[in-house]
Structure 1
Amino acid sequence: MPDLSLPQWQPADTASARAQQHFLEAEGVYDLLIETDPEDLDGPEPGSDNFLLFEDLDAYDETANPALAAHLHYGTDGTFTLATRPAPTFAIAAAWLVARGADQGAFLHRAGHGGAPVDERSAAVAARFITDHARYEQVEHGVEPGETWVMLRDTTSAGAARPFLLQLETGDPERGYTLREGSFASPQEVQQWLETRRTALPPVEQGEVTVVYSPQALAARARTAASPAKGTAAEAAPVPVPVPAGRRAVR
């Protein structure tokens, strides 16, 4: 947990003061996963920004958001603004930070880290969503230990045939998160899939993306290409996971 007491800096507004006080009182609640601009020995520079992605360790029930994004901006007049955004998935939290000026790569290229995608497919899904997140509005989500699902509605004509996007995120604090997505024609179809999980997720409308490879993934692919004993089989479909019927969603 970074020190947000921020000596020699004053909150620029009431919202920033409240956000700062919340963090100061929440010791042990949040685990810092990514900090894009860590404070150096000389302290923050006026006019600079710090983007942080936290995991809310107390949030894994059906009424909470496991991810918390924070944007800290240091003004040129000795004040700071601190804005926060709770989110059901780390990808949604990252999209909010990128929209506020954070470097997208910071949330996609950190293999072996809890706040970044764990594999190439997850990185591709996260990259597509971060790029196109403005076209979606959140409908509802549900949380269980180790897994979060979120339903979003595509507000553009690109997804007119299947406008409801389902994202399924499973996390590992040591390795990162796995992110999968599919599109559906109605909320009822989303809920039916969640309850049964007997089929693969339907492909997302207009979902072609360029896969973003981390340096670790590129090295692994190079090793695979250099080994004649290894094939290039496609990624296996995820094994259906039974989910109790009647799970409560958060709107």
Structure 2
Amino acid sequence: MKDTDFRLDGLEPADEQTAAVYDCTWMHDYQTISQHDAGDRSFIVAFNPVATWDVPNMPNIVSFDVVRDSRQATFSMHSFEHATFAFAQNWLVNRGCPPDALAPIADVPKPADELTVRVEDRIRNSGERLEVVERQVIDGDDTEGWSIAVDRQDKDLPVRLFLESLNPDQYTYTVREGAFADFAAAGEWLEERFTPLPEAPEYRLEAEALRTSAALSRTAALPLAPSPVTTSAATPVSPAQSPGRSL
């Protein structure tokens, strides 16, 4: 990964909030994972390789929204820390970045399967529906991380566990979403893992919809059976009704 260039030469912070964010940013050697530039505005997802050196489990992925004003020679900067790439994308999408513009530009592990792509797409496009409340980052030799979030639109299973597993040998990873009634149930599963991760209802409904769609497609593709030919039986003509014969 290359070092992140915020393109701030000759610019000064536009306000105190930006100055505080910048003071915390310039001290770190961020490495760019993904970046989308729209004129004087940059949406950046970066990796902080030293995030966990002093305090274990500190988020090591950061989203940056940088707006430059060349006329005023100033810039504004907002940032937020995350444990996973998809939630970093979500934060930037919520601030106006096109969802499809944040693909990784660095050499990072790839999704291992289609379900991982679907789960990350759900996170990325969830708006403010999911609120992360606890997380475990992947750092160093770790191969697993997770984020626990509250789904504001689900009253029955509002606690969602997003479990990320890294496969270093294949240079791939998987992400799965589990659904729980409360935080105690999610924490118990993380500790014990006596059962498979409880599948979120969104994926069951999606799978059922896909099966129904496939069945309808197969039915529509079947050749139509020929319509039976109806032949009317000839009505016998009595001698008395025979043409040309008179009574």
TM-score, normalised to structure 1, is 0.67
Shift of 1:151: 1.0
Code of the aligned partner of 1:25: M
Larger Rg: 2
Task: Provide closer, same or farther for how the CA distance between residues 35 and 164 of structure 1 changes in structure 2, counting only shifts above 3 A.
Answer: same
1:56-86 superposed Cα distances (whole Å, 9 cap, x missing partner): 2233564411211111112353321111100
Q: Which residue of 2 aligns with 1:35?
A: 35
* Aligned counterparts of 1:132 and 1:123: Cα–Cα separation in 2: 14
Task: Provide closer, same or farther for how the CA distance between residues 143 and 110 of structure 1 changes in structure 2, counting only shifts above 3 A.
Answer: closer
Q: Which residue of 2 aligns with 1:190?
A: 186
State how 1:87-236 maps to structure 2 within 5 Å: 87-107=82-102, 109-110=103-104, 113-114=107-108, 117-144=111-138, 145-156=142-153, 159-171=154-166, 175=171, 177-207=173-203
Of structures 1 and 2, the one scoring higher in RCO (CA 8 A, sep 6+) is: 1
Contact 1:4 1:20 in 2 (8 A): no
Contact 1:33 1:55 in 2 (8 A): yes
Of 1, 15, 18, 1:16 maps to 18
Q: What secondary structure does 1:199 align onto?
A: coil
* Aligned counterparts of 1:133 and 1:12: Cα–Cα separation in 2: 28
- Establish whether residue 71 from structure 1 lines up as the match of residue 65 from structure 2: yes
Q: Which residue of 2 aligns with 1:248?
A: none
Shift of 1:143: 3.2
Code of the aligned partner of 1:162: L
Code of the aligned partner of 2:88: A
Q: Which residue of 1 aligns with 2:238?
A: none
Paired positions, count:
197
- Calculate percent identity across the aligned residue pairs: 27
TM-score, normalised to structure 2, is 0.68
1:196-227 superposed Cα distances (whole Å, 9 cap, x missing partner): 333322221334569xxxxxxxxxxxxxxxxx
* Aligned counterparts of 1:199 and 1:111: Cα–Cα separation in 2: 37
Contact 2:4 2:31 in 1 (8 A): no
State how 1:234-249 maps to structure 2 within 5 Å: none
* Aligned counterparts of 1:151 and 1:124: Cα–Cα separation in 2: 18
* Aligned counterparts of 1:179 and 1:14: Cα–Cα separation in 2: 38
Code of the aligned partner of 2:13: P
